[in-house]
Structure 1
Amino acid sequence: MTTFGPPDTPGWTLVGGRSYADAVPDLPPNVWELRWQSTGESIRVTDPIYGNQRSLSVVEIDTDEGVLRFAADEVSNGVFLFALPGVR
């Protein structure tokens, strides 16, 4: 596989693509209804379909359990790519 751009950001695990309103592993079921607050940071991941590098914005959401951090970006109309911190 040929990659374009810098390598993936260490410490993040790509969850994959999800259509709007679909469940996202390890995130609350209502993640789409919560306010996503940008941290101003971004990470790099390899697109699982095309193999090129993508930049995902790091965001935080407030939940009953505390603040959750993840990275996401809309990569196609209504399709989002997600990554979570840590190795899963």
Structure 2
Amino acid sequence: MIVDNRGFAIKEIAVMVSWEAVGVVAEGQQISLSGLNPWSFDWRRSSEPPIELPHPQYRTQRHLARVFEIDSGSGILRFAAAEVSAGVWAFYQLGAQ
């Protein structure tokens, strides 16, 4: 856990600022993460714990997203994804990427 100089936890705030929503699609529907369609690759779950992120369209809804990696053959793509409804997925990427 990260705390500020007053002892308040700031981990959630830091995570939410750094992850940016890419979009919401039905399972298998085309979406571009740095030019790659994640459904075309095997996802490898990161050892990071799930993170709480806002729904891309309904910002007051929060969902637990898992961090995944894809080996595209030309590099590793890191992203977060959450099933926000039955068969409906939200995708996120780090803002610094």
- Which string of whole-angstrom CA distances, capped at 9 and with x for unpartnered residues, describes residues 39-65 of structure 1? 132322112226222111000010022
- Which string of whole-angstrom CA distances, capped at 9 and with x for unpartnered residues, describes residues 52-81 of structure 1? 221110000100221100000111121101
**TM-score normalized by the length of structure 1:** 0.76
* Residue in structure 2 matched with residue 65 of structure 1 by the alignment: 74
Distance 1:9 1:65 in 2: 28
Distance 2:52 2:59 in 1: 14
Deviation (angstroms), 1:33? 3.1
More helix by share: 2
Structure 2 counterpart of 1:51, from 32, 35, 60: 60
RMSD: 2.1
Instruction: Please tell me whether residue 19 in structure 1 is matched to residue 26 in structure 2.
Output: yes
Moved over 6 A (4+): none
What 5-or-longer segments of structure 1 have no aligned partner? 1-5
Higher relative contact order (CA 8 A, sep 6+): 1
| Alignment: residue pair count | 82
**TM-score normalized by the length of structure 2:** 0.70
Instruction: Please tell me whether residue 9 in structure 1 is matched to residue 16 in structure 2.
Output: yes
More strand by share: 1
SS for the counterpart of 1:59 is strand
